[in-house]
């Protein structure tokens, strides 16, 4: 079964989801070709075990992000099952490729089996949908749902020149809200809520994040209340959906809309002074304490590891 | 300028989702609401209308109950309302895309606003798919949009951070959380909206023949129950939790 994977990048290198997509493709018996938009990460992609070939798609249309231009340029390079990350940008390009190719599209798969049987969360994780589709089709995959294969591949790279009309031009790239690790890329996330009291107290979260290489997230109440906490940090229904190995919620009550974005995390730790806070209902390890008392100890203990 | 805003009625984000006979039981949903991202799209559609003297058409696709959100949209200022009536709410995204694209074509809109994904299917395919069918430029992850000389200026979260982009017509904006919440209707708006006609169209009125979906639903199920967690009293338990994270969970 032919599988075409659209590589996802961050800056000048591959996002870890790209290798996970290769893992997902192989797990359902596919032979993956990886398309690298703008040629970014093609060298890295060729070393992912199990990759059959790499298409480095180069052209000015990839200089900035215009999902229609990208879809028009990438679509002719696709065969069989087209796969991408279920990041917002991945979905946007994939949905247009599916419309161009008139194939069904299923977004945000967390499980795939040969056949193709797909599971994905719906209603913000309140239910799971299992459906069956036959190739050709398009599937986006949630990050951290599949293991990445090793790095002993040596796939051949072919370069194609793509062109397509661009309708979006960037006037101004605004300084990134923070140069820190983004919650959607992190394997460990520590998030703060309204219970942090003041935005300056997020510094305690950043200190811990630095110790373990985590990203700092926030609840909507924190984002809405404090200008210093940008929306890019928001986890939940109207923020980002994250799927890390470890999610630490500090001073977050655990509203259903917050849970929607993080309940599928592998392990959840909650620090909250209210023993009845709903966040304890989803926490693997709950600590009933104020953050003022708990965070300094947490930082020291993590630093000792 | 004619603006179309695409709205979907979904179970309220606080509603309980129950499963019966292997599928989500829609009859058991206590409260239906406009999908949250669509609210942002509607607010910015109203702002575009106010700044440019445009006509704003609210469109939904769904069963009979969905017309409620059109009336809600009229209460805050939508000029006309189109309900594409379909019985099967679990319809394949490509059919929904074709129907919405046909409705947009029918009213001649050259700018379309919608939410980046609906709160029920959580897919995010509809906006980009509609744009693709219509041949419109698609801009996703938008938080603000305003008119510019011959097109629009939008704020969006690009792959490498926030960007201000210019876009020309025809185009579609799929909204992330906007910078401004949707305005609330006033009494006069609510009264006027009650009298506003909803134009109801069927797929055949739109000349769309629905395709048989190649995706077949096997089942809906409840998310796997996590084993109950362990709860510890006081900050003195932090070292215990850290060692459990290392030895039990193996995540640090
Ligand atoms: C349509 C819609 C979409 C939404 N989308 C999102 C979303 O994407 N993400 C999101 O997060 N929310 C979202 N919300 C909002 C959500 O309903 C909650 O209002 C929000 O999550 C609450 O944030 P919080 O937990 O930080 O604040 P609160 O609910 O105020 O909780 C603060 C918590 O901090 C604890 N606390 C206080 N002081 C301390 C201390 N010193 N030490 C330890 N703990 C302390 C308190 O016990 C409390 O549990 C949405 C709501 C709606 C209606």
For residues A135 and A116, what is the distance between their CA atoms, to the nearest angstrom? 8
Report the pLDDT value the prediction gives residue B90, as an integer from 0 to 100.
64
**What string of pLDDT tens digits covers the 305 residues of chain A?**
999 999 999 888 999 999 999 999 999 999 999 999 999 999 999 999 999 999 999 999 999 999 999 999 999 999 999 999 999 999 999 999 999 999 999 999 999 998 899 999 999 999 999 999 999 999 999 988 999 999 999 999 999 999 999 999 999 998 654 567 889 888 999 999 999 999 999 999 999 999 999 999 999 999 999 999 999 899 999 999 999 999 999 999 999 999 999 998 999 999 999 999 999 999 999 999 999 999 999 999 999 98
Q: How far is the CA of A90 from the centre of ligand 1 (A)?
A: 29
- Condensed to tens digits (0 to 9), the pLDDT of residues B101-121 reads 999 999 999 999 999 999 999
The answer to whether residue A221 neighbours chain B at the CB level (below 8 Å) is: no
For residues A281 and A279, what is the distance between their CA atoms, to the nearest angstrom? 5
Is B231 exposed, middle or buried (CB count within 10 Å of its CB: 0-12, 13-18, 19+)?
Answer: middle
Report the pLDDT value the prediction gives residue B149, as an integer from 0 to 100.
85
Tell whether ligand 1 has an atom less than 6 A from the beta carbon of residue A255.
yes
Tell whether ligand 1 has an atom less than 6 A from the beta carbon of residue B36.
yes
Tell whether ligand 1 has an atom less than 6 A from the beta carbon of residue A234.
yes
Q: Which atom from ligand 1 is nearest to the alpha carbon of A253? A: 49
Q: Are A257 and A264 in contact (CB under 8 A)?
A: no
Tell whether ligand 1 has an atom less than 6 A from the beta carbon of residue A258.
yes
Report the pLDDT value the prediction gives residue A11, as an integer from 0 to 100.
84
Report the pLDDT value the prediction gives residue B177, as an integer from 0 to 100.
92
Let me know if domain A2-175 sits in CATH 3.40.50.620.
yes
Backbone angles phi, psi at B97, to 5 degrees: -60, -45
Report the pLDDT value the prediction gives residue A60, as an integer from 0 to 100.
97
For residue A235, give the 3-state DSSP assignment. Answer: strand
Q: Are B186 and B76 in contact (CB under 8 A)?
A: no
Roughly how many angstroms between the first and final C-alpha of chain A, as a whole number? 45
Closest CA to A160 of A90, A91, A74, A241: A74
Residue of chain A nearest B115, judged by CA positions: A238
B29: pLDDT strictly greater than 70: yes
Chain B residues within 8 A of A10 when measuring between CB atoms? 159-160
Q: Are A68 and B138 in contact (CB under 8 A)?
A: yes
Q: How far is the CA of A192 from the centre of ligand 1 (A)?
A: 9
Tell whether ligand 1 has an atom less than 6 A from the beta carbon of residue A270.
no
The answer to whether residue A288 neighbours chain B at the CB level (below 8 Å) is: yes
Cis peptide bond upstream of B194, omega within 30:
no
Chain B residues within 8 A of A18 when measuring between CB atoms? none
Q: For residue B250, what are its two tokens?
A: 């193996």
The superfamily (CATH) of domain B2-225 is HUPs (3.40.50.620)
B161: pLDDT strictly greater than 90: no
The answer to whether residue B121 neighbours chain A at the CB level (below 8 Å) is: yes
Higher pLDDT pick, A109 / B53? A109
Query: Pick from A11, A169, A301: which is nearest to B166 by CB?
Result: A169
Let me know if domain A183-304 sits in CATH 3.30.420.40.
no
Indicate which residue's Cα is closest to atom 51 of ligand 1: A257
Is B192 exposed, middle or buried (CB count within 10 Å of its CB: 0-12, 13-18, 19+)?
Answer: middle
- As annotated, the residues of chain A forming the CATH 3.40.50.1220 domain(s) are 183-304
Substitution candidate for ligand 1 out of A255, A262, A272, A282 with most atoms within 8 A of CB? A255
Q: For residue A113, what are its two tokens?
A: 């089996």
């Amino acid at each position: 079964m032919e599988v075409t994977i659209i590589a996802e990048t961050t800056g000048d290198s591959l996002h870890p989801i790209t290798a996970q997509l290769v893992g997902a493709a192989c797990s359902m018996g596919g032979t993956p070709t990886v398309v690298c938009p703008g040629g970014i990460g093609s060298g890295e992609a060729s070393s992912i075990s199990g990759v059959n070939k790499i298409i480095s798609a180069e052209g000015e249309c990839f200089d900035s992000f215009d999902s229609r231009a990208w879809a028009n340029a990438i679509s002719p390079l696709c065969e069989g099952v087209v796969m991408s990350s279920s990041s917002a940008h991945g979905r946007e390009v994939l949905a247009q490729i599916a419309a161009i190719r008139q194939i069904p599209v299923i977004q945000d798969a967390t499980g795939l089996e040969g056949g193709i049987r797909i599971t994905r969360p719906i209603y913000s994780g309140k239910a799971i949908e299992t459906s069956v589709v036959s190739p050709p089709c398009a599937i986006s995959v949630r990050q951290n749902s599949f293991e990445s294969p090793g790095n002993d591949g040596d796939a051949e790279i072919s370069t194609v020149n793509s062109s397509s009309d661009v309708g979006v031009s960037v006037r101004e790239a605004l300084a990134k809200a923070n140069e820190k690790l983004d919650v959607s890329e992190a394997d460990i996330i520590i998030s703060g809520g309204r219970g942090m009291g003041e935005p300056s107290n997020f510094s305690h979260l950043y200190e811990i994040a630095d110790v373990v290489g985590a990203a700092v997230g926030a609840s909507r109440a924190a984002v809405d209340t404090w200008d210093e906490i940008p929306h890019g940090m928001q986890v939940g229904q109207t923020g980002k959906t994250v799927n890390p190995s470890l999610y630490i919620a500090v001073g977050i009550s655990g509203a259903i809309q917050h849970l929607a974005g993080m309940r599928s995390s592998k392990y959840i730790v909650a620090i909250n002074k209210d023993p009845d806070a709903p966040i304890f209902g989803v926490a693997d390890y709950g600590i009933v304490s104020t953050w003022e008392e708990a965070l300094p100890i947490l930082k020291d203990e993590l630093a000792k590891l | 300028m004619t603006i179309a805003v695409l709205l979907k009625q979904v179970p309220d984000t606080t509603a309980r989702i129950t499963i019966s006979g292997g599928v989500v039981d829609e009859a058991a949903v206590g409260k239906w609401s406009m999908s949250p991202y669509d609210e942002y799209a509607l607010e910015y559609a109203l702002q575009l209308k106010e700044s440019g003297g445009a006509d704003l058409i609210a469109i939904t696709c769904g069963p009979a109950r969905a017309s409620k959100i059109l009336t809600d949209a009229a209460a805050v200022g939508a000029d006309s309302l189109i309900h594409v009536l379909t019985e099967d709410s679990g319809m394949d995204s490509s059919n929904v895309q074709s129907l919405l694209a046909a409705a947009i074509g029918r009213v001649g809109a050259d700018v379309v606003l919608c939410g980046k994904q609906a709160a029920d299917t959580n897919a995010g395919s509809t906006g980009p798919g509609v744009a693709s069918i219509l041949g419109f430029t698609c801009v996703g992850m938008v938080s603000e949009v305003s008119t510019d000389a011959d097109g629009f200026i939008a704020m969006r979260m690009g792959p490498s951070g926030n960007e201000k982009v210019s876009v020309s017509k025809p185009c579609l904006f799929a909204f992330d959380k906007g910078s401004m919440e949707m305005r609330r209707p006033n009494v006069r708006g609510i009264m006027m909206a009650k009298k506003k006609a909803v134009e109801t169209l069927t797929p055949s009125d739109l000349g769309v023949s629905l395709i048989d979906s190649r995706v077949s639903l096997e089942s809906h199920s409840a998310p796997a129950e996590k084993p109950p967690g362990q709860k510890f009293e006081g900050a003195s338990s932090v070292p215990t939790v850290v060692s459990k994270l290392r030895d039990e969970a193996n995540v640090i």
